[in-house]
Every structure is written in structure tokens, then in C-alpha cells.
Amino acid sequence: MYTPDGEGSFPALVYYHGGGWVIGNLDTVEVPCRMLANRANCVVISVDYRLAPEHKFPAAAEDSYAAAKWVVENAASIQIDPNRIAVGGDSAGGNLAAVVAQMARDKKEISLAYQMLIYPVTNHSYATESYTENADGYLLTKDSMIWFWNHYLRNEEDGKNPYASPLQANDLSGLPPALVLTGEFDPLRDEGEAYAERLKDAGVQVEATRYDGMIHGYFWMPGALDQGKKAIEQAANALKQVFQGSVASK
């Protein structure tokens, strides 16, 4: 949990790390989480959800929702404003953030203010143009994604479940506003942008940006890539605006 200087109550971002639901941990997202906490002046709760293949779908999704629910229910004790809580994540973590937003809408137990989706996995499919164009040579490969999905899912049918493939949900209305960032040379580019379009079509307010020249993982690399730093600044500014808007609308 990353808490900025000052007195609460603070807005909060519940963050899910990437790694294909199989690898990755709290340390891999230390830098972006710390930067977001400082720049958006919000508490960032980084979630150590269960990983596959020991814990297959829906374990990660259930853990991710449980963490968000815990933050809402215990907001006062951790200096958080329960009306200003967002979810976010990168790659498989972006998938989990999108899924938690859908679960929160469906279960009607908690209310979320925002979803921050960084090159999210949204569909169990490899049929997009970006998978063809960027299958090899740009850090994340098509073969790696097949490997990740095969470890995560119990069977092919799981891949059709919107809590695994949020793009396959019949209805995306009633979800919180979203930021969707993608990269030009990323196999996941097209499914992230397709999800942004589906959200817009459902009446959800969406800010979508493709970072040209970027490969998968740039959000983790602000020290090496100017575009990575720029993406974190964009995400922090989006969070600040939403949190300030939530205060004004109370």
C-alpha cells in the first residue's frame, strides 16, 4: 500500500500487476505504483492475487474483486474515501481491472469511480491484426500469450466467460469511465482498442491513447523510455481529474 504525504481521506487506486496471470509480483510494479501515488495524490493498493497454473481461472479474478471490496469496506481505517476508488492494472492486470469493474456492476456490492486499463488482455483470441504484425520480436510474443492463456484457463469454455475475456461480455453499459492505453508494437493492441470502442458504444466515457513506437511493457519502464514516463503522467492526470470530479459531485 502506497500512501502519499498529508492527511486523508485520500482517493485510492486498487492496482493489479501484469504477468499473464502466471508471473509478475508486487515488486514488478513498484515503480509505476509509487509514481502514481505521488502524482495522483492517491493511495495505491497493489494486489498480490493468486497465480496460475496452481490457481486457475477464476481465482485471480475472484481475488482481485475481493481486494477491491475489502478496500471499499475498510476505507475509513486506511484513510480512504470510499466514493473515490478506482481499479487499474497492466496487461493481465488490465484484464483483471476490467473484470473487477464488470463484477462490481453485476454484483452491486461496491461502486467504483474509474478503470485504468494499460494494454489490457481483453479476449481469448489470437485473430487480430496486431497479433499477426507483432507475433515475434517485440518482447511479448504470440506464443507467450498462448502459453499464458493455457496456464490460466481450465478449458476452452472458460475463454468465453466475460470474467476471463471482458470483450465477450454482451453488455458493457453501466461501467465506470475508463482510460485505455495501448502500444503500437504490442500483440494486445487491437483487443485493447476494441474494448475501448465497445465501452464508448455502450455510453461509457473513455480516454483511449495508442503510444506509437512502443512495445508491450512500456508502462514499467519510465526510467528507460520517455513514452513510459509520459504514459504514467497521463494515467496520473486522468486519475486526478476523476477524483476531483468525484469530490465536486458529492
Which residues is 208 bridged to in the sheet? 180
**Whole-angstrom distance, CA of residue 45 vs CA of residue 3:** 9
Tens digits of residue pLDDT in 65-101: 999 999 999 999 999 999 999 999 999 999 999 999 9
Q: How confident is the model at residue 245 (pLDDT cuts 50, 70, 90)?
A: confident
Q: What's the Cα-to-Cα distance from 138 to each of 78, 141, 149, 215, 245, rounded to whole Å?
A: 40, 7, 19, 6, 38
Nearest to 187 by CA among 124, 136, 231, 117: 136
Q: E strands within 75-225?
A: 80-90, 114-118, 178-185, 206-215
**Whole-angstrom distance, CA of residue 5 vs CA of residue 41:** 8
Q: In one letter, which amino acid is 79?
A: Q
Mean pLDDT score of the chain: 97
**Whole-angstrom distance, CA of residue 213 vs CA of residue 131:** 16
Continuous segment of H or E residues that includes residue 11:
strand 10-16
Nearest to 95 by CA among 69, 129, 61: 61
Q: What's the Cα-to-Cα distance from 78 to each of 8, 12, 16, 44, 150, rounded to whole Å?
A: 9, 10, 19, 11, 37
Q: Give the model's pLDDT for residue 249.
A: 47
Structural domains of the chain, ranges and CATH numbers in brackets: 10-248 (3.40.50.1820)
Would you name the residues annotated as active-site residues? 91, 186, 216
Supply 61's cell numbers. 479474478
Q: Give the model's pLDDT for residue 250.
A: 46
Tens digits of residue pLDDT in 207-232: 999 999 999 999 999 999 999 999 99
The answer to whether residue 3 scores a pLDDT higher than 90 is: yes
How many CA atoms within 13 Å lie on the side-chain side of 131? 14
Q: How confident is the model at residue 184 (pLDDT cuts 50, 70, 90)?
A: very high
**Whole-angstrom distance, CA of residue 29 vs CA of residue 92:** 13
pTM of the model: 0.97
Q: Give the model's pLDDT for residue 7.
A: 86
Tens digits of residue pLDDT in 130-175: 999 999 999 999 999 999 999 999 999 999 999 999 999 999 999 9
Nearest to 199 by CA among 89, 74, 100, 102: 102
Q: How confident is the model at residue 247 (pLDDT cuts 50, 70, 90)?
A: low
**Whole-angstrom distance, CA of residue 32 vs CA of residue 34:** 6
Tens digits of residue pLDDT in 38-60: 999 999 999 999 999 999 999 99
Q: How confident is the model at residue 62 (pLDDT cuts 50, 70, 90)?
A: very high
In the chain, % of residues over pLDDT 90: 96
The answer to whether residue 186 scores a pLDDT higher than 60 is: yes
Q: Give the model's pLDDT for residue 246.
A: 63
